[in-house]
Amino acid sequence: MTRDDLKDYIASHFGDKLTALDTGRYDPLYELKAEHLVEVARALRDDENLKFDFLCNIGAVDTTEHFEAVYNLASTTKRLRLDFKVIMSHDNPEIDSVIDIWPGANWHEREMWELFGINIRNHPNLTRFLLPDEWDQGFPMRKDWDAPDFIRMPEPET
């Protein structure tokens, strides 16, 4: 299956849930509503023609208006790659855990919870593991984060 075939296949089988985003990047990128996350993720993994059995990474983005979680999938048997992102509200970011589908999501989700303050529903072990144990300064990867000894890069002189 080529990349174009994959796009057609997704459009015909998952068209109602996954909205294609035309970003010009190499791997196809889709947008997904948070309430469909677990259902669609499971379907992508179990689909006979896709078999997305490997979750490469989960990335979180703070756009200051909302939070995004970007999931990068790969299929080791069909040699396919696909990304999709889920948009959350900025005031109360919450997302379902996908550990049941890809166990490797465990630490990615913990990291997302720890550094961005995104709450993960149904996560079995949401505990601190990257920041120091005595950390009490909030979520450092948020755009509006600040601390007494945090020095922001000055704007370059033009």
Which residues contact other proteins by CB under 8 A? 131-132, 137, 140, 145, 147, 149-154
Nearer to other proteins, 54 or 145 (CB): 145
Q: What angle (nearest 5°) sits at the alpha carbon of residue 108, between those of residues 103 and 114?
A: 130
CB 44 within 8 A of CB 55: no
Q: Closest distance between other proteins and the C-beta of residue 132, in Å? A: 4
Q: Closest distance between other proteins and the C-beta of residue 129, in Å? A: 11
Nearer to other proteins, 26 or 150 (CB): 150
CB 37 within 8 A of CB 22: no
CB 58 within 8 A of CB 105: yes
Residue 62 corresponds to which tokens in the numbers above?
Answer: 């703070």
Q: Closest distance between other proteins and the C-beta of residue 151, in Å? A: 6
Nearer to other proteins, 4 or 155 (CB): 155
